[in-house]
Amino acid sequence: MAVTLIVNPGSSSKKYALYVDKVLTLSAYVEKAENGGYVFCASVRGVDSLPGIPVSAAEYHESLDTFLSVAVEKKLLAEKVMVTTIALRIVAPGSYFQRHRVVDVEFVRELEAMIGSAPLHIPHVISELQAIQRLLPKVRTVAISDSAFHRTMPDMARQFSIPAETQGRYDLYRFGYHGLSVASVVRRLHAVTGEMPKRAIVCHIGSGVSVTALRSGLSIDTTMGYAPGSGLMMGTRAGDLDTGALLALMQARNLKPLDAQAFLQTQGGLRAIASEADLRLILDRRTKGDKEAILAVDTFVYQIQKAIGSYLVALGGIDQIIFTATASERSPILRSLICVPLEAIGVTLDTDKNEMCLGRDGVISTFTSPIKVVVMKADEAGEILALAEQVGVE
Amino acid sequence: MAVTLIVNPGSSSKKYALYVDKVLTLSAYVEKAENGGYVFCASVRGVDSLPGIPVSAAEYHESLDTFLSVAVEKKLLAEKVMVTTIALRIVAPGSYFQRHRVVDVEFVRELEAMIGSAPLHIPHVISELQAIQRLLPKVRTVAISDSAFHRTMPDMARQFSIPAETQGRYDLYRFGYHGLSVASVVRRLHAVTGEMPKRAIVCHIGSGVSVTALRSGLSIDTTMGYAPGSGLMMGTRAGDLDTGALLALMQARNLKPLDAQAFLQTQGGLRAIASEADLRLILDRRTKGDKEAILAVDTFVYQIQKAIGSYLVALGGIDQIIFTATASERSPILRSLICVPLEAIGVTLDTDKNEMCLGRDGVISTFTSPIKVVVMKADEAGEILALAEQVGVE
Chain A interface includes B254 (CB < 8 A): no
Mean local confidence (pLDDT), A275-292? 96
Q: Please list, in sequence order, all residues whose beta carbon lies within 8 angstroms of the beta carbon of residue A281, skipping any fewer than 6 positions away.
A: none
User: What is the bridge-based pairing of β-strands A372-375 and A140-145?
Assistant: unpaired
Identify the active-site residue in B65, B146, B240, B290: B146
Bridge partners, residue A285, by sequence: none
CA neighbours within 13 Å on the CB side: how many for B192? Answer: 22
Mean local confidence (pLDDT), B153-174? 96
Nearest CA in chain B to A293: B156
- Residue B198: is its pLDDT beyond 70? yes
Mean local confidence (pLDDT), A2-7? 96
Angle between helices A332-339 and A291-315 (to 10 degrees): 60
Chain B interface includes A251 (CB < 8 A): yes
Chain B residues lying within 8 Å of A269, measured CB to CB: 161
Chain B interface includes A266 (CB < 8 A): no
Chain B residues lying within 8 Å of A306, measured CB to CB: 310-311, 313-314
Chain B interface includes A356 (CB < 8 A): no
pLDDT bin (cut points 50, 70, 90) of residue B393 is low
Angle between helices A243-253 and B257-266 (to 10 degrees): 160
H or E segment and range at residue B13 = strand B13-20
Mean pLDDT of chain A: 94
User: Please, what's the b/e burial string for B136-166 (b: 16 or more CB within 10 A of its CB; e: otherwise)?
Assistant: beebebbbbbbbbbbbebeebbbbbbbbeeb
Q: What is the pLDDT of residue B390?
A: 84
Chain B interface includes A254 (CB < 8 A): no
d(CA B94, CA B111) in angstroms, rounded, equals 10
Chain A residues lying within 8 Å of B306, measured CB to CB: 310-311, 313-314
What is the helix, strand, coil percentage profile of chain A, to 5? 45, 20, 35
Chain A interface includes B85 (CB < 8 A): no
Q: What pLDDT digit, counting tens, does each position of A362-388 carry?
A: 999 999 999 999 999 999 999 999 999
- Residue A12: is its pLDDT beyond 80? no
List, as one string, the DSSP characters of A323-360: EESHHHHH-HHHHHHHHGGGGGGTB-B-HHHHHH--SS
Q: Please list, in sequence order, all residues whose beta carbon lies within 8 angstroms of the beta carbon of residue B268, skipping any fewer than 6 positions away.
A: A160, A161, A162, A163, B229, B233, B234, B236, B237, B238, B239, B241
- Residue A225: is its pLDDT beyond 60? yes
* Count of pairs with CB atoms under 8 A, one residue in A, one in B: 243
pLDDT bin (cut points 50, 70, 90) of residue A10 is confident
Question: Phi and psi for A163 in degrees, rounded to 5?
Answer: -55, 140
Question: Phi and psi for A54 in degrees, rounded to 5?
Answer: -70, 140
Cross-chain Cβ contact B257/A251 below 8 Å:
yes
- Residue B283: is its pLDDT beyond 90? yes
Handedness of CA B231, B232, B235, B237 (dihedral sign): positive
H or E segment and range at residue B166 = helix B164-170
Chain B residues lying within 8 Å of A166, measured CB to CB: 249
User: What is the bridge-based pairing of β-strands A199-205 and A140-145?
Assistant: unpaired
Mean local confidence (pLDDT), B150-176? 97
d(CA A85, CA A141) in angstroms, rounded, equals 6
102-131 in A: which are within 8 Å (CB) of B?
116-118
d(CA A333, CA A354) in angstroms, rounded, equals 9
Cβ-contact B27, B43 below 8 angstroms: yes
Q: What is the pLDDT of residue A61?
A: 85
Chain B interface includes A160 (CB < 8 A): yes
Cross-chain Cβ contact A248/B257 below 8 Å:
yes
Nearest CA in chain B to A254: B257
**Number of C-beta neighbours around residue A314 at 10 A:** 20
- Residue B184: is its pLDDT beyond 80? yes
Given A248, A310, A316, which is nearest B117 (Cβ)?
A248
Cross-chain Cβ contact B161/A313 below 8 Å:
no
Mean pLDDT of chain B: 94
Q: What is the pLDDT of residue A248?
A: 92
- Residue B221: is its pLDDT beyond 60? yes
The pTM (predicted TM-score) of the whole model is: 0.95
- Residue A288: is its pLDDT beyond 70? yes
Mean local confidence (pLDDT), A182-194? 95
Cβ-contact A303, A237 below 8 angstroms: no
- Residue B7: is its pLDDT beyond 70? yes
Cross-chain Cβ contact A243/B257 below 8 Å:
no
Percent of chain A predicted with pLDDT > 70 = 99
Q: What pLDDT digit, counting tens, does each position of B74-122 carry?
A: 999 999 989 999 999 999 999 999 999 999 999 999 999 888 878 878 9
Cross-chain Cβ contact B298/A166 below 8 Å:
no
- Residue B252: is its pLDDT beyond 70? yes
- Least Cα separation, residue B163 to chain A (angstroms): 4
Q: What is the pLDDT of residue B300?
A: 98
User: Which region among A27-36, A271-280, B281-290 has the lowest average model confidence (pLDDT)?
Assistant: A27-36
Given B225, B243, B306, which is nearest A310 (Cβ)?
B306
Interface test with B, best of A91, A242, A273, A291 (most B CBs within 10 A): A242
Q: What is the pLDDT of residue A393?
A: 59
Cross-chain Cβ contact A312/B344 below 8 Å:
yes
- Residue A239: is its pLDDT beyond 80? yes
Nearest CA in chain B to A262: B244
User: Which region among A146-160, B27-41, B223-237 has the lowest average model confidence (pLDDT)?
Assistant: B27-41
- Residue B142: is its pLDDT beyond 80? yes
pLDDT bin (cut points 50, 70, 90) of residue A34 is confident
Catalytic residue IDs of A:
146
pLDDT bin (cut points 50, 70, 90) of residue B349 is very high
Mean local confidence (pLDDT), A247-255? 92
Chain B interface includes A35 (CB < 8 A): no
d(CA A390, CA A117) in angstroms, rounded, equals 28
The CA dihedral of B325, B326, B332, B337, to the nearest 10 degrees, is -70
Chain A interface includes B241 (CB < 8 A): yes
E-state strands within B177-241: 199-205, 209-215, 218-222
pLDDT bin (cut points 50, 70, 90) of residue A13 is confident
The alpha carbon of residue B90 and the mean position of all alpha carbons in its chain are separated, in whole angstroms, by 11
Mean local confidence (pLDDT), B31-54? 89
Mean local confidence (pLDDT), A326-354? 96
Q: What is the pLDDT of residue B118?
A: 80
What number is the ipTM of this complex?
A: 0.94
286-325 in A: which are within 8 Å (CB) of B?
295, 298-299, 302, 305-314, 316-317
d(CA A147, CA A134) in angstroms, rounded, equals 28
Q: What is the pLDDT of residue B146?
A: 96
